[in-house]
Structure 1
Amino acid sequence: MQIAIVAPSPVPFCIGGAEKLWWGLQEEINQNTPHQAELIKLPSPERNFADLIGSYWQFSRLDLSHFDLVISGKYPSWMVDHPNHICYMLHRLRGLYDTYHFTGFPEQFNSNQTEIQRLQKQFKRSKRSDLVEVFAQLEKLRSQQNLPTEVTQFPGAFSREIIHYFDGIGLDPKAIRKYAAISHNVANRQDYFPKGSSIDVIYPPSSLRRFEQGESEYFFTISRLDSAKRVRLLVEAMRFVQSNVQLKIAGIGPDKSLLKELAGDDDRIEFLGFVNDEDVIQLYANAIAVPYLPYDEDYGLVVIEAMMSGKPVLTTIDAGGPNEFVINGETGYSVSPEPAALAERLDYFYQHRAETKQMGLAGRKLVETITWESTVARLLSEPPTKPMVNGTQKRQKITIAVTFSVFPPRGGGQSRVFHLYKHLANYFDIEFVSITGFDQVPFEGEIAENVREIRIPKSTKHQQQEQEIEKEVRVPITDVVMPDLVWLTPEYIEALKTSIESSDIVIACHPYLYPAIRSITNKPLWYEAQDVEIDLKSKILPDNSTSRKILDSIRKVEIECCDASRLIMTCSRNDADLLNKIYGIDLKKTIEVPNGVDTEAIRFISQEKRRSTKSKLGLENSFTAFFLGSWHEPNLKAVESILKMADALPDVNFLIVGSVGWAFQDKKHPTNIGFMGEVDEETKSIVLEIADVALNPVTFGSGTNLKMLEYFAAGIPVISTPAGIRGLGVEHGKHCIVAEVEQFGDAIGKLRSETSEAKLARIEAAKDLVQQTYDWRVIAERFMSAVTAFE
């Protein structure tokens, strides 16, 4: 296709987020798609009433019929008349829309002049065929002598009425094939889009070429120095900051002198002025956190850049777009727009560096899929599932009921649901309704593009009854008692009901919230069976009367959920067969959705890089075996096996990473075992870089082992039990070494004596297997193909 990107050129010219967006779109289309794009910009002054009308007039006359597609995104460029027109909206003229109420002018313009009354009648007709006459009448009106100032006042009631009329024609559903917005904040603004229209929210990425992570030395922000960005609020907050920490402010603008005067002699505040991209990358990289405090921002590229650099963001509850990414206590903080409240959080960031770093890593995971590739792909294509609702196209919505918080993903279950549904969000709007610990903070917001989470803490009564049962069985039972106890948290039932009302499909993630779902709706139900629950829990729960009652409850809710579901998602074919054997389910309604990994997020480490890193750390003569696991019964048993191995292999260093280690740290263990507990992604990457072998000595469980896929994607040789490779299509010798636990010592010895060529062949085969079969993007695409065939 020949694509025209049409946009206004500011007068006087300046470079802002809009310009960077157009350039990014043009480059991505021309360099990485089969299409060609040209950026067409017309000077568009808006200093007064006449300028504004003239700008709308020139775009309305623009003939772009020699292009196959037109993309516009900002007034007045969407006045272009083209049969294949996409509007990717940044914002309307805010002073005449969402910020007009600040002007104090009336909403309606009343006049006794015949010419104005005639124009107002034409405004109500809202026909493109009237435009030539309307522009001519406006020009005639403007040329009148002694015209009342309120007629040409800008902003003003009459200019507002005119621009609403023009925008109504330019953005009419008959004139626009597809609507998109750069944020939910823009999509949800009153009067921005025609009522009933479907709006695809597509987050644009930064124009910075790369992002780095460095030290944590100072606070940094970058912004245009004007009142809308509220840098003044940040400078005022520094008066209350007790820490001796520097604040670096990059950017230029009309408020520069005022802000410097406000900062006074506080030598902690440094104004950097204009900063080039290379310096911006380094300033982000070495920041502790990034404060960004605009009022009702459309989007906020600063937030994306900060999080891509692994830095949390401090913003305000009225900042608009930034709050689609800032999750309190997880990717940063959003507080009242008051200097003291901001200062308290800045001091907190400074004093809690480890926690601050974790928030930054969670933020990076939240925004890592915002790329030019995905932006252009979504902008140029239509979602495959778009049923007609009241005459307009609408993406289907899925509500997922889940017994744990989803973001940030730390354990295997969280990682699975976050990444799977993040990629299914290319086809559906996704909303998780999760129930969490009573001491957690409620949350509602977007955790990935088109993915929302509503998080409800358990009530105190719910938590107390759960703890009483837990005393009797002596293992965590949060999920299995949910069918009986969820009713003690009515806030969760209400949140689930509200979400389901606007959904087309409901998914039970595990079977335990099925009774709650069925009490609310009879809408189509899918069951995500991450395990065969009765099989798994019978191996974990102790043999006593309470456990037997729980197992009876599990069996009942699992079969009811299977029977009621139109579609069952299983992690492996073995799980589907086991569900059929136990409950007699219809295998025709099962779809295999294996565990996967985000191969783009896991760094592949070559053997040369591994040797180099070990040499730098003085570990070139050591051999390190690595195990990763959460506090989960199969993993606990696996660590017990490693304890025995370590005694027999004193020249091997064993590193245990993950919450499973907390169960053993206070117990006596061999000196060549190190328990690291839960670590951040950066620390885990370092461990993956120095490990010589990854172990998977699990001997039971259902589903597939996510850790195997992470090992493969990172390029580590692997030794696994037969149970550890279940359902993955892994071949002994080709992808990894498969042995029983008792043979792991011999397998480690064999691996150590292998040639580099033999190791490399196995590593490459394993990496190819993961990329071609177990990347989450591939899994989501195959699932959608299966669903289409299924229906």
Structure 2
Amino acid sequence: MKRIVQLTTYPLKSPRHGGQLRCAAIRACYRELGFEVATIAAIHGTDYRPSDLEGDDLVLPADHAAFDPRLARFIDLQSGELIAADDGATWRAFARTLDRLAPDVIALEQPWLYPAARRWIDARIASGAAVPRLVYSSQNVEGKLKRDERPEGARDALQDDAVARVERLEREAVCHADLVVACTDEELAELRAMDDAPQSRAWIVAHNAIAPFEADPQRVADVRRRLGLDRYALFVGSAHPPNADGFWRMLAPSLAFLRPDERIVVVGGVVNYLRQHRVYRAWPAIDEPRLVTPGELDRDDLVALLGGAHVVLLPITTGGGSNLKTAEAIYSGRPVLATPHALRGYGDAAHWPTVTVAASTDVYRRSLRAMLDRDTPPLPADYASIREEVTWQRSLAPLAHAVSALAP
């Protein structure tokens, strides 16, 4: 049986955010193929609760001198560098775990732990021991993403150096992998461009996806009744500032184009960022009454909100990879209003009969107004088969084939 070890910087026991969900789905895919799979998550301090951790996870002390508090955006980068440079208990714990697991394949989920994996692999080579194959599974072009996320107008030599380290790390992970996995065709091309010998490794795309779900009609009715809304738009986003930027960029200068009784329901950590945003602060008396923020919801209530939405908003304007929220919205079967960027990795909008695309603020606002004014159109008869394309089983099929083909 082929043994695979995943290396991540977040635990997979109780996946919540997009990276966890993707890596957990990949792990399940490997196990369904009959592989023996273990995961080592290198966790920064108390970023996760002890109950979230699994037996092989490694907690890095948050007060370690290797962590620079000025580089909070680069904790993952610093985690991999810490393990690779350590000569004490941290390195021994990491190396002994890999020794015990004896992987045939190391699956590097994002580039962050490559320095630690490289040190362990080099020691194997020096001792004449068998060396595992390496899979580099990317979720973004990380160097580009770090540059894009830099605050507008900010120039900081320390931050610039950290971005350069990310770019070097990413290139090294690509150039030493036996298999490179990207979320979109565009990002696969960018990763290939980093490699002077792309013919030396395999390349595939496995876009982000979701596990199938169904909204319970009674729960949909209950959620609508609790909210006091029959017709609403829905925006779901994590506590990531670009999510708020995209929302207000596409709906600025205010929500005054909505009628006084119309609402946008906002779910997730993005809520606080929406209210801190300069666009919101310009017209809070207009915007606040048109927002409904029901707070933390369990998965069944979120699915019910999706199932009852008159339109699902995807005002995504930045970021890499392919977005899980896009797959979720497509699978729900509800009308979707998306930016072109929200569809990266999912092909042309014409393929998705529920999706309307608007590239500019004016068109986005007018499209939302029109979608709220009309009744929900019926789904095509074959939509059940169409939406299967955004499930993990379909999206990870190329990965399953490619990993199975790797020689042990």
TM-score band (shorter)? 0.7 to 0.9
Does structure 2 conserve the Cα–Cα contact (< 8 Å) formed by 1:570 and 1:594?
Answer: yes
Q: Are 2:204 and 1:591 equivalent residues in the alignment?
A: yes
1:719 match: 337
Q: Are 2:6 and 1:406 equivalent residues in the alignment?
A: no
Q: How many residues align?
A: 377
Shift of 1:747: 1.2
2:42 match: 435
Cα deviation digits, residues 750-771 of structure 1 (max 9, x gap): 3234454x3423xx66653331
1:707 match: 325
Q: Are 2:353 and 1:734 equivalent residues in the alignment?
A: yes
Distance in 1, Cα, partners of 2:116 & 2:40 = 12
Cα deviation digits, residues 4-60 of structure 1 (max 9, x gap): xxxxxxxxxxxxxxxxxxxxxxxxxxxxxxxxxxxxxxxxxxxxxxxxxxxxxxxxx
- Select which of 73, 81, 86 maps to 1:476: 73
1:747 match: 367
1:768 match: 385
1:656 match: 266
669-678 vs 559-568, greater mean Cα deviation: 669-678
2:176 match: 564
Does structure 1 conserve the Cα–Cα contact (< 8 Å) formed by 2:215 and 2:303?
Answer: no
- Select which of 438, 453, 457 maps to 2:59: 457
Shift in CA distance, 454/615, structure 1 to aligned 2, threshold 3 Å: closer
One-letter code aligned to 1:751? M
Shift in CA distance, 664/458, structure 1 to aligned 2, threshold 3 Å: farther
1:170 match: none
Does structure 1 conserve the Cα–Cα contact (< 8 Å) formed by 2:266 and 2:291?
Answer: yes
Shift in CA distance, 482/751, structure 1 to aligned 2, threshold 3 Å: same
Q: Are 2:270 and 1:638 equivalent residues in the alignment?
A: no
Shift in CA distance, 517/644, structure 1 to aligned 2, threshold 3 Å: same
Distance in 2, Cα, partners of 1:741 & 1:719 = 12
2:94 match: 496
Shift in CA distance, 686/631, structure 1 to aligned 2, threshold 3 Å: same
Does structure 1 conserve the Cα–Cα contact (< 8 Å) formed by 2:219 and 2:301?
Answer: no
Does structure 2 conserve the Cα–Cα contact (< 8 Å) formed by 1:416 and 1:595?
Answer: yes
Shift in CA distance, 755/627, structure 1 to aligned 2, threshold 3 Å: closer
SS at structure 2 position matched to 1:647: coil
499-508 vs 570-579, greater mean Cα deviation: 499-508
One-letter code aligned to 1:579? L
Does structure 2 conserve the Cα–Cα contact (< 8 Å) formed by 1:634 and 1:700?
Answer: yes
Shift of 1:666: 5.5
SS at structure 2 position matched to 1:477: helix
Query: Comparing both chains, which one has the higher relative contact order based on Cα–Cα distances under 8 Å and sequence gaps of 6 or more?
Result: 2
Shift of 1:706: 0.6
Shift of 1:457: 1.8
Shift of 1:443: 6.9
Shift in CA distance, 664/748, structure 1 to aligned 2, threshold 3 Å: closer
Shift of 1:624: 1.4
Alignment of 1:563-712 (within 5 A): 563-584=175-196, 586=198, 589-599=202-212, 602-604=213-215, 612-613=221-222, 616-617=225-226, 619=228, 622-641=230-249, 644=252, 646-651=254-259, 652-665=262-275, 668=281, 669=284, 670-671=287-288, 672-676=290-294, 678-712=296-330
Shift of 1:566: 0.4
Does structure 2 conserve the Cα–Cα contact (< 8 Å) formed by 1:703 and 1:727?
Answer: yes
Distance in 2, Cα, partners of 1:674 & 1:584 = 51
Distance in 2, Cα, partners of 1:649 & 1:623 = 16
- Select which of 515, 529, 534 maps to 2:138: 529
SS at structure 1 position matched to 2:325: helix
SS at structure 1 position matched to 2:349: coil
Gaps in structure 2 of 5+ consecutive residues: 122-130
Alignment of 1:363-374 (within 5 A): none
Q: Are 2:67 and 1:466 equivalent residues in the alignment?
A: yes
Alignment of 1:66-145 (within 5 A): none
SS at structure 1 position matched to 2:255: helix
Higher normalized helix content (fraction of residues):
2
693-702 vs 478-487, greater mean Cα deviation: 478-487
One-letter code aligned to 1:723? H
SS at structure 1 position matched to 2:16: coil
Does structure 2 conserve the Cα–Cα contact (< 8 Å) formed by 1:504 and 1:524?
Answer: yes
One-letter code aligned to 1:696? L
Cα RMSD of the aligned pairs, angstroms, is 3.0
Q: Are 2:399 and 1:783 equivalent residues in the alignment?
A: yes
Does structure 2 conserve the Cα–Cα contact (< 8 Å) formed by 1:568 and 1:591?
Answer: yes
Alignment of 1:304-319 (within 5 A): none
Shift in CA distance, 523/738, structure 1 to aligned 2, threshold 3 Å: same
Distance in 2, Cα, partners of 1:573 & 1:401 = 24
688-697 vs 775-784, greater mean Cα deviation: 775-784
Distance in 2, Cα, partners of 1:649 & 1:723 = 24
One-letter code aligned to 1:564? H
Distance in 2, Cα, partners of 1:765 & 1:481 = 48
Does structure 2 conserve the Cα–Cα contact (< 8 Å) formed by 1:735 and 1:765?
Answer: no
Shift of 1:432: 1.0
TM-score by length of 1: 0.44
Does structure 2 conserve the Cα–Cα contact (< 8 Å) formed by 1:401 and 1:496?
Answer: no
TM-score by length of 2: 0.82
Give the percent of matched residue pairs that are identical in Structure 1 and Structure 2: 21
1:424 match: 30
SS at structure 2 position matched to 1:562: helix
Gaps in structure 1 of 5+ consecutive residues: 1-394, 446-451
Cα deviation digits, residues 710-731 of structure 1 (max 9, x gap): 1122222111111100111242
Alignment of 1:264-343 (within 5 A): none
Shift of 1:779: 3.2
Shift in CA distance, 781/476, structure 1 to aligned 2, threshold 3 Å: same
SS at structure 2 position matched to 1:425: helix
Distance in 2, Cα, partners of 1:657 & 1:614 = 13
SS at structure 1 position matched to 2:76: coil
2:128 match: none
One-letter code aligned to 2:399? F
Shift of 1:434: 0.5
Shift of 1:783: 2.3
Does structure 1 conserve the Cα–Cα contact (< 8 Å) formed by 2:224 and 2:308?
Answer: no
Shift in CA distance, 648/443, structure 1 to aligned 2, threshold 3 Å: closer
Cα deviation digits, residues 525-567 of structure 1 (max 9, x gap): 1101111111111101243101110111011111111010000
1:507 match: 107
Shift of 1:517: 0.3
SS at structure 2 position matched to 1:496: helix
Distance in 1, Cα, partners of 2:370 & 2:385 = 23
Distance in 2, Cα, partners of 1:459 & 1:614 = 42
Shift in CA distance, 444/614, structure 1 to aligned 2, threshold 3 Å: closer
Does structure 1 conserve the Cα–Cα contact (< 8 Å) formed by 2:10 and 2:41?
Answer: yes
- Select which of 513, 535, 538 maps to 2:147: 538
Distance in 2, Cα, partners of 1:703 & 1:604 = 27
SS at structure 1 position matched to 2:247: helix
Shift in CA distance, 520/594, structure 1 to aligned 2, threshold 3 Å: same
Does structure 2 conserve the Cα–Cα contact (< 8 Å) formed by 1:658 and 1:677?
Answer: yes
Distance in 2, Cα, partners of 1:666 & 1:702 = 24
Cα deviation digits, residues 276-332 of structure 1 (max 9, x gap): xxxxxxxxxxxxxxxxxxxxxxxxxxxxxxxxxxxxxxxxxxxxxxxxxxxxxxxxx
Does structure 1 conserve the Cα–Cα contact (< 8 Å) formed by 2:41 and 2:58?
Answer: yes
One-letter code aligned to 1:430? V
Does structure 1 conserve the Cα–Cα contact (< 8 Å) formed by 2:316 and 2:341?
Answer: yes
